[in-house]
Amino acid sequence: MSISLDLSGRTALVTGSTGGIGLAIAHGLGRAGAQVLVNGRGAARVEEAVDRLAKEVPEGRFTGVAADVTDADAVERLVAAHPEVDVLVNNLGVFGATPALEIDDDEWRRYFDVNVLSAVRLTRAYLPRMQEAGWGRVLNIASDSAVVIPAEMIHYGTSKAALLAASRGFAKAAAGTGVTVNAVIAGPTHTGGVEDFVHSLVDPGLGWEEAQREFMRTHRPQSLLQRLIEPEEIANLVVYLASDLASATTGGALRVDGGYVDSILP
């Protein structure tokens, strides 16, 4: 028996998709046949990402959408320009290490604006359209930090925990409509930003492979994978959840975390 993840005829919007996990998700959705709206704040980076994706997935259909989705007016313009989205992937996020007692109010607000409200705003805009159509997927990219709050970035963990709660709530709002809403709990993942983060926590003189091992050993020792996850491994789960095969999966917080979260529940 073969499994087909066919998203032909679907349009997907992936926020923060000019690099890292978002770019890998855009790649996976495009390869599955979806028309993908590639999003970032700067037009140059968006265009660069679209060009890269077009080369890697020549059969794919990728359109650049430069917009700051943390800005309500920008989101309104984005939705007006692209009103029909079948798969919404709220991937945009910000993270960084700061001692808990040094995180001021402005930084707390910034983390909630980026990690929570951008997703809430786009879901509020697109979910009614999906419900009218009788089909849709909303996927929020969360983090193991939502469950295992890291001492070095409690503002990040708290914002991602809020995203899990919002995902469950919107799933209830979409009950019985053919629209599913899920969160994906991504574990420690190998991206450019994470490389900088790792080097900020271990000896900056270490080479990447050694620095990665030291980071996992000292800061993420509970990982069963014992290595960083590659972005494509996150994207694989997202593409499945975006497909018809995941029609009975909603309201969930599904882990692709390398066994990092010590739990027998998904």
Q: Which residues are catalytic?
A: 156
- CA distance linking residue 164 with residue 117, whole number of Å: 12
Question: The tokens of 16 are what?
Answer: 């923060």
Q: Which of 212, 220, 217, 224 is nearest to 256 (CA)?
A: 224
The answer to whether residues 142 and 253 touch, using CB atoms and an 8 Å cutoff, is yes
Task: Give residue for tokens 């077009």.
Answer: 54
Gap between the Cα atoms of 123 and 207, Å rounded? 41
Nearest Cα neighbor of 231 from 195, 180, 182, 181 is 195
Q: Which of 141, 231, 233 is nearest to 190 (CA)?
A: 231
End-to-end CA distance of the chain: 26
Q: Among residues 27, 127, 31, 32, which one has the least CA distance to residue 83?
A: 127
The token duo for 12 is 């997907």
